[in-house]
Structure 1
Amino acid sequence: MSDFSKAAYSINLWPEGFMPGHGAQAPEQDTDDHRGNVDRLTNVSKPALYVYPAKNPTVNPAPAMIVCPGGGYSILAWNLEGTEIAEFLAQNGMTAIILKYRCPNNREGAFQDAQRAIRLARLNADKWGIDPAKIGIMGFSAGGHLTVRATCKYDEQSYKPIDEADSRSPKPDFAVPVYPAYLNKDEQVAPELLPLVNLPPILAIHNADDAAFVKGTRIFVNALADGGFDFCFRHYQDGGHGYGLRSAKSVKDWGRAMILWFKEKRIL
């Protein structure tokens, strides 16, 4: 069952009655599918943020990361790509903020939720003890696509401003897509991610044996290289897809590599 209790605190993304777009038709629930010890949450109509404060941060205020679980925009892999990631980040000195975004089949709602999440993190920076100039976003599979879209389309007004939070910038200060999905259309970067302009530092993580999606990541990072952007591509040999921090294959190193990249970029 998806566990929301480990977060220090949580907030709803939208004031009651002001959420743009639409939610799910059915009540929010965990699915009956728990294969691989994965809690699968679906029918999200009330998106929210779940905050895991940094433990023993090495910089003060701490950097923060919006965490977007994957699940094909149908479910959210809540423990595998949410709480386990948040706890890892918090243990390494970064405040983690899990985004419970709208699903299923609601990419536009998810994008609105991601933009709103970054804005709310900036609005609450003092309260949460985070640096408003060090707010990143990371995601897995479909959450990786959402991460890249929020990073590349930060200047797109996906909804009309509602309150003070919407005066803040939705542009992340860094981004980490992990085995992202849907980044390409044929041999090109997917059109909803274009154009690539004035992007923050990006760490892309993928492995060669994720046959369905690694091609899109290669196309995306090649476009980053062509554009002269600040990026790093950690390309592993094997790991499959949907492993979070649990893999025993070569990609098991990605979490440590990410922390080293944060230190290299003086984020941590």
Structure 2
Amino acid sequence: MKSLLAAALLALIAAPAFAENVEVILWPAGQVPGQDPSVKEEIVEEIDQRSGRKVTKVTKPMITVYQPAADKKNGAAVVVCPGGGYNILAYDLEGTEVAKWLNDIGVTAVVLHYRVPRAKGDYQTGPMQDAQRAIRLTRQNAKAWGIDPDRIGLLGFSAGGNLTAITGVGHDLKTYDEIDEADKQSARPDFLVLVYPAYLTTEPDSVELNDRAEVTETTPPAIMIHAANDPVPCNNSVAFFMGLKRLKTPAELHVYPTGGHGYGLRPTEHEVTNWPKVVTTFMEKQGVLEAKK
């Protein structure tokens, strides 16, 4: 009996921490644009102790909203795109753990559960539709979620960094037909954070952006983080930075000597492990973390 009471008490104590997280399905039932009928289910598995959960076979794209403590909250929000080669989502390493860091600096985190694995042929449009819809829903719910609709960023890792870049570039592209009032909102992020982004150049050793990543005058300010010894070439970050600078768009590029790929926020002996502080400073300089009075 005592153990049952203790368990019940523990559940009551723990409940508020989870109750604050809001899950929102992106698309009304049966209206996921271009849904691949061959994808039948969603699987959440442990990769290993280091990486945590991976998610694949996503048929119901969604966002999970993580709110910071009230005494820290500054009104900014960031939609987070985990990586995984457009085949899986590194949901803890590049998702929930990132949400905790964002909450620690007063930012509302919106973790995006976008469609994977890769569709046959064009594998980027489906995830881009999900990213656009996520930004629009975040703006539509700005008042309810206590955020500023003009301080919504997009952050992504690896393939999620690619998704962040192409959504920032193509924010005004009509990738799906309007469904409801949310789709009247702008899909333009106010700033971008690309951490070891992939698939942005025409060739692996090129610094020429491919068509989907070619920046325009309306591409948001951005910061790029990469390690020089990353098997995903740092040319991706360099090319995006050069494109922004040519258009005089505020941009920062931080390439570190070592660090590899897929480290997320996990501490390592490499200098790149300090990237969250660098990104925090970038957001401060952009006025993102300053609460409006």
Q: What's the TM-score, normalizing by structure 1?
A: 0.93
Q: Which of 73, 90, 94 does residue 86 from structure 2 map onto?
A: 73
Q: Which of 282, 286, 290 does residue 261 from structure 1 map onto?
A: 282
1:49 aligns with 2:63: yes
Give the Cα–Cα distance (whole angstroms) in 2 for the partners of residues 7 and 149 of structure 1: 31
CA contact (8 A) 2:234 2:255 kept: no
Q: Which moved more, 1:196-205 or 1:148-157?
A: 196-205
CA contact (8 A) 1:182 1:213 kept: no
1:59–1:98 distance in 2 versus 1, CA, 3 Å? closer
- 1:27-72 deviations in Å (ceiling 9; x for gaps): 1002464363331110001000100112246565x11000000000
1:21 aligns with 2:42: no
Q: Give the deviation of 1:173 after TM superposition.
A: 0.5
Give the Cα–Cα distance (whole angstroms) in 1 for the partners of residues 20 and 258 of structure 2: 32
1:57–1:223 distance in 2 versus 1, CA, 3 Å? farther
1:55–1:237 distance in 2 versus 1, CA, 3 Å? farther
Q: Which of 241, 247, 261 does residue 227 from structure 1 map onto?
A: 247
Q: What's the TM-score, normalizing by structure 2?
A: 0.85
Aligned 1:47-126 pairs, distance under 5 A: 47-56=61-70, 60=74, 62-106=75-119, 107-126=124-143
Q: Which of 172, 183, 202 does residue 166 from structure 1 map onto?
A: 183
Q: Which residue of 2 aligns with 1:211?
A: 231
CA contact (8 A) 2:80 2:112 kept: yes
CA contact (8 A) 2:156 2:162 kept: yes
Give the Cα–Cα distance (whole angstroms) in 2 for the partners of residues 16 and 244 of structure 1: 33
Give the Cα–Cα distance (whole angstroms) in 2 for the partners of residues 79 and 210 of structure 1: 21
Aligned pair count reads: 263
Aligned Cα root-mean-square deviation (Å) = 1.7
Q: Which moved more, 1:157-166 or 1:35-44?
A: 35-44
Q: Give the deviation of 1:91 after TM superposition.
A: 1.1
Q: Give the deviation of 1:212 after TM superposition.
A: 2.5
Q: Which residue of 2 aligns with 1:132?
A: 149
CA contact (8 A) 2:72 2:104 kept: no
Q: Which moved more, 1:29-38 or 1:239-248?
A: 29-38
- 1:88-127 deviations in Å (ceiling 9; x for gaps): 1011100000000000004211000000000000000011
Q: Give the deviation of 1:85 after TM superposition.
A: 0.1
User: Equivalent pairs: percent with the same residue?
Assistant: 40
1:123–1:184 distance in 2 versus 1, CA, 3 Å? same
Unaligned runs of 5+ in 2: 1-17
Give the Cα–Cα distance (whole angstroms) in 2 for the partners of residues 180 and 7 of structure 1: 31
CA contact (8 A) 1:65 1:96 kept: yes
1:250–1:113 distance in 2 versus 1, CA, 3 Å? same
CA contact (8 A) 2:190 2:220 kept: yes
Q: Which of 40, 58, 61 does residue 54 from structure 2 map onto?
A: 40
- 1:181-232 deviations in Å (ceiling 9; x for gaps): 1110123101112252222211111111113231121122112222221111
Which amino acid counterpart does residue 93 of structure 1 have in structure 2? G
Unaligned runs of 5+ in 1: none
1:18–1:51 distance in 2 versus 1, CA, 3 Å? same
1:123–1:236 distance in 2 versus 1, CA, 3 Å? same
Q: Give the deviation of 1:26 after TM superposition.
A: 3.2
1:222–1:266 distance in 2 versus 1, CA, 3 Å? same
Higher gyration radius (CA): 2
